[in-house]
């Protein structure tokens, strides 16, 4: 499954040598799902759903966002 890689990679340099540090604790998919969950939970009508359903919606949104990132620009 494409999880989007690390949510918060950082690039830097040690002298003249570039490096990329990654935080392997949270994937971009998890970050997207968490952000979607905040939106879902902010709707008072949305909290009538079971939490498990809200989480499924959040990860469904995250998966759609990751799929959209893979599409070539300008393609609709």
Q: Which residues of 43-74 are buried (b: 16+ CB within 10 A; e: fewer)?
A: eeeeeeeeeeebeebbbebbbebbeeeeeeee
User: So what's the pLDDT on residue 37?
Assistant: 93
Q: pLDDT-based confidence at 15, cuts 50/70/90? A: confident
What pTM, to 2 d.p., does this model score?
A: 0.69
Give the per-residue pLDDT at 61: 97
Domain ranges for the chain: 10-70
Query: SS3 of 52, please?
Result: helix
Q: Which residue has the tokens 């969950």?
A: 37
Instruction: Tell me the pLDDT tens digit for each residue of 16-32.
Output: 887 777 666 788 999 99
pLDDT in tens, 41-62: 887 776 677 888 889 999 999 9
pLDDT score at 3:
87
């Amino acid at each position: 499954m494409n999880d989007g890689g690390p949510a918060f990679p950082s690039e830097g340099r040690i002298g003249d040598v570039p490096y990329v540090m990654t935080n392997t604790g949270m994937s971009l998919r998890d970050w997207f799902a968490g952000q979607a969950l905040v939106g879902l939970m902010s709707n008072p009508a949305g909290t009538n759903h079971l939490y498990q359903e809200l989480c499924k919606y959040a990860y469904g949104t995250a998966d759609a966002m990751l799929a959209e990132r893979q599409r070539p620009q300008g393609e609709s």
